[in-house]
Amino acid sequence: MYKFCTTERNNAKANEYETKAMLYLSSFRKDSNEIDAFLVDCFNDITGSNQEVTKLWDVQSKNVKSLNPTKIGTALITLFQNYISNIDFTHFILFMPKLKEMYLQDETMTIYTIDNFHEKHKVKITEGLKKEYLRRNSNTANQTEIEEFLKKIYFVVASENKVEYIKNIIKFKNIVSIEDTFFVSIFDEIRDKQTQLKNIDIEGKIIEFAKEALQFEKTIHRNDIDILIINRFVGVDLFSNRMIPNLFLEEIKEYDQEERKDIIQECNAALSRVIFNKNNKKHFWIFFESIISILRNSKCEAPRQIYQEMKSKSVKIPLLLDELSVIYLISILKESLENDN
């Protein structure tokens, strides 16, 4: 049995750190590929899970400028409560800024265990955690459990730079030419989505198994973020003066130069109409996701073949797009994502 109780109701807005923590799980870990979804503000600030929800990456994010060992101990309380709960968590992570003072043996490390702390500070951390446990539960924590728990914690130092977190997710060609504000805008969008999910109240709700937490719909899928970024890439590139994708040139080689210009302009126009349309976004994402999934799994090379494959799989194409503009989109995606995987 697991009962949700929220301790911080004061801050409804997801802070930057919680978003960074999620994006860290999403692409900075060796096992990032195993993570399928992120539960926002359920078990903890962020909890990553695999598809079957049998493996959980539990993250507490702590954005406090001057963290000292005692405060670190206090900050570990939710992770610890989860550790001793009936639900199995696989990883325990405290996501925090770089520590200021000389608490650490090796300050250059960005991911470390409790062993990187000097001995006297370890004690402070333990004390801080114990004290907070007592304050919340009115009884003393089990010493062995605390010791075992502390061994399992990973301390992850957050980067100050929002841009890196987005850039790391998908490998694009031409990435260099894109300005930072673009990445910042995507970061902020994801943060705002997190805020929306945080506002779904589950105080006092009880579950037996971790999987049941999905019912609260406080989840962002890793793929959603991927797709979002790809979409924004396609968006900012519309009508830019970049080269026509070679694959698409192949498709329209029968036309003369002037006709080609018209076709490209019409394709760009059609795509911009689709992404500007605010009222059919559900369909749009299903369509966009299908395109990318087919693209990633298809053996076909030519955009037209991929288009045929989409048709045969009955992918619903937005009304605003005609055949050529879908093929154009496929060509762009195929060329931009060439190194992706």
Partner 1 sequence: MIIKKAGFGNFTEAFIEDKLNNGVNIIFSDDNNKGKTLVIQGIMYALGNEPIFPSGFPAESYYFYTQIEINGENIEFLRHRNSVVLNYRAALNIFDTISEMKYFLKSENIIDLPIIMKDGREVIADLSLFYELFFVGQDKRNPSNIINYGYNKKQDFINMLCTLNGYPLTDIQEDTKEIVEKIKVIKTEINTTKKMLKLLKTDSNLSIYIDKYSDDLSFVELRDKMKKTHQSIGYFKKKRIAEINRKIRLEILIEELNSLNRNIEKGKIICADCGSDRIVYTNRDLSFDASSPYVRQKVMNSIKFQMAQKDEIITEISRNIHKEQDKLKELLIDTPEELQKILLYSEEILSGIEFDNKLNSLNEELRTLMQKNTSINNSSEEAKKQAIEMKYAIVDIMKTLFLEVDPNGRLTFDDLFTKKNVTYSGSEEQEYYYCRLLALNSYFEHEFPLIVDCFRSGEISTQKEKIMIDTFKKTEKQVILTATLKKEEYDAKKYDEYDNIQVLDYSVNQDNKILNQNYVNEMTEILNKFCIGNVAITS
Residue ranges in contact with partner 1 by CB under 8 A:
181-182, 185-186, 189, 193, 196-197, 199-201, 217, 224, 228, 231-232, 235-236, 238-241, 258, 261-262, 265-266, 269, 272-282, 284-285
Neighbours of 244 (CB within 10 A): 18
Please measure the distance between the N-terminal and C-terminal CA atoms of the chain and give it in whole angstroms. Answer: 39
CB closer to partner 1 out of 150 and 274: 274
CA angle 83, 210, 111 (to 5 degrees): 45
Q: Of 311, 306, 299, 308, nearest to 333 (Cα)?
A: 306
Using CA atoms, how far apart are residues 49 and 31, in angstroms rounded to an integer?
11
β-pairing, 37-40 vs 2-3, is: unpaired
State the residue for tokens 């949700």. Answer: 4
CB closer to partner 1 out of 154 and 182: 182
**Least distance from C-beta 10 to partner 1, angstroms?**
16
Residues counted in the chain: 341
**Least distance from C-beta 217 to partner 1, angstroms?**
7
**What is the residue-wise DSSP string for 72-125?**
HHHHTHHHHHHHTSSS--SEEEEEEPPP-STTBS-TT-SEE-GGGB-HHHHHHH
CB closer to partner 1 out of 119 and 203: 203
CB closer to partner 1 out of 74 and 231: 231
**Least distance from C-beta 196 to partner 1, angstroms?**
6
**Least distance from C-beta 75 to partner 1, angstroms?**
28
**Least distance from C-beta 92 to partner 1, angstroms?**
28
CB closer to partner 1 out of 276 and 341: 276
